[in-house]
Amino acid sequence: MHSDLTLTTSTTSYPVVVAAGALADLPARLRTLGLGGTLWLVCDGAVADWYAAPLAARLRDAGFVVQMMPVPPGDASKNVAQLSELHTWMIAGGVERRDTVLALGGGVVGDLAGFAAASILRGVAVVQLPTTLLAMVDAAVGGKTGINHPLGKNMIGAFHQPRMVLADTDTLATLPPHSLREGWAEVIKHGVIRDAGLFADLEALAAQRGWNADQPGGLWDAHDAELTARLTAIIRRAVAVKVEVVGIDEHEQGERITLNYGHTIGHAVEQLSRYAMLHGEAVAVGMHAEARLAQALGMCDPDLVARQAALIHAYGLKTALPNHDSDAVIALTMRDKKVHAKKIRWVLPCAIGQVQVRDDVPEALVRQILAS
């Protein structure tokens, strides 16, 4: 049994729990944190019956007052209209500053409900309860909240750290295969940017299980105790990377920018697909393109690009760029949140476990990578 991770910044400290069956402990953990008042449970509509309704019943049995609102699944819910619906629901229900928002679902719910918590009454507590792999290792940890704008992804939001992140890996057993696969992109990314041992663990598991491009793996099998234990340990290690980076740089002024590896091109192709491409799928494509960019700049050798591509394929993801117009991709990269003084700050790998931030990448080279 692992102890909880703890994310500590200059302004806050909170537990980050990654364990099977963790949702069962939520009532006791809320009391330990001193969280009371009304619990505003915002859930992804896809998990309302699976997890939200039983969780609400468990909390009510423990003496909590719970209000529940499902939101439609998918990135299209991260908009002003849906945010306004949450505000209206809470205001009409008599929300008070001592209340707590519970965000149960994937990254969309975490971002949306987190931003609602940050903005209602100028801020109430939020607890992140991720049920997708992508949210567990990335979106739920670190306090980024927000919604999309027609001109860019995640362009409107706030940093609002949760009081706790509680990731119950048992929820991954009911996740659709394509949703589980996209989460592995962020796990692989954490290995590339900061933890070579994590990357090696992912490779070793794939090799042991015979996972490759023809027989991809990384799916959850609740009947395979050894596999689920290994995957849970890998997930926890990936979460630890995010915890460490945010602890160093809470508001993305330096080190935290490295977490955006693969996202500069990834966000662009994701938006150009009108979000038909899942976030993790786009990040996988972005990582491959940005690794090739690093190779062209002489920052890394071809082996890194090949190893990363092989691992991406082994976990069921693709590396090929969609057939988008290069001008459209580059125009969207210029709206990236990392742009500084009209220069794109690219996160590029030098070795497995190490990246650098560069703002001197020629546009012509980016076009060459996109075209090839």
Spot the catalytic one: 267, 288, 292, 313. 267
Distance between CA atoms of residues 180 and 279, nearest Å: 12
- pLDDT, tens digit (0-9, with 9 covering 90-100), for 273-289: 988 899 999 999 999 99
> Residue 295 has what pLDDT?
98
256 tagged catalytic: yes
- Write down how long the chain is: 372
Q: Is the pLDDT of residue 75 over 90?
A: no
> Residue 90 has what pLDDT?
98
> Residue 341 has what pLDDT?
65
Q: Is the pLDDT of residue 338 over 80?
A: no
- pLDDT, tens digit (0-9, with 9 covering 90-100), for 341-353: 678 999 999 999 9
Spot the catalytic one: 250, 252, 270, 290. 252
Spot the catalytic one: 29, 144, 160, 163. 144
Spot the catalytic one: 263, 292, 313, 345. 263
Q: Is the pLDDT of residue 1 over 60?
A: no
Distance between CA atoms of residues 346 and 372, nearest Å: 19
Average pLDDT over residues 293-321: 97
Q: Is the pLDDT of residue 186 over 90?
A: yes
263 tagged catalytic: yes
> Residue 324 has what pLDDT?
77
> Residue 252 has what pLDDT?
86
Spot the catalytic one: 181, 242, 292, 313. 242
Q: Is the pLDDT of residue 29 over 60?
A: yes
- pLDDT, tens digit (0-9, with 9 covering 90-100), for 231-254: 999 999 999 999 999 999 998 888
Distance between CA atoms of residues 222 and 149, nearest Å: 38
Confidence band of 358 (pLDDT split at 50, 70, 90): very high
122 tagged catalytic: yes
Q: Alpha carbon of 8 to those of 5, 32, 248, 250: distances in Å?
A: 10, 18, 9, 9
> Residue 2 has what pLDDT?
65
Spot the catalytic one: 260, 281, 288, 292. 260
Q: Is the pLDDT of residue 48 over 60?
A: yes
Identify the three-state secondary structure at position 215.
coil
Confidence band of 94 (pLDDT split at 50, 70, 90): very high
Distance between CA atoms of residues 370 and 372, nearest Å: 6
What are residue 146's phi and psi, to 5 degrees?
160, 180
Q: Is the pLDDT of residue 336 over 90?
A: no
Spot the catalytic one: 190, 237, 279, 292. 279
Average pLDDT over residues 96-123: 97
Looking at the chain, which runs of residues are DSSP E strands? 5-8, 13-19, 38-44, 65-71, 100-105, 125-130, 144-149, 152-159, 164-168, 346-351, 354-358
Average pLDDT over residues 59-64: 98
Spot the catalytic one: 189, 236, 256, 292. 256
> Residue 372 has what pLDDT?
83
> Residue 337 has what pLDDT?
63
Average pLDDT over residues 175-198: 97
242 tagged catalytic: yes
Spot the catalytic one: 153, 160, 186, 281. 186
279 tagged catalytic: yes
Q: Which residue has the higher pLDDT, 46 or 314?
A: 314
Contact 285, 269 (CB under 8 A): yes
Q: Which residue has the higher pLDDT, 333 or 61?
A: 61
Q: Is the pLDDT of residue 340 over 60?
A: yes
252 tagged catalytic: yes
- pLDDT, tens digit (0-9, with 9 covering 90-100), for 127-181: 999 999 999 999 999 999 999 998 888 889 999 999 999 999 999 999 999 999 9
> Residue 154 has what pLDDT?
87
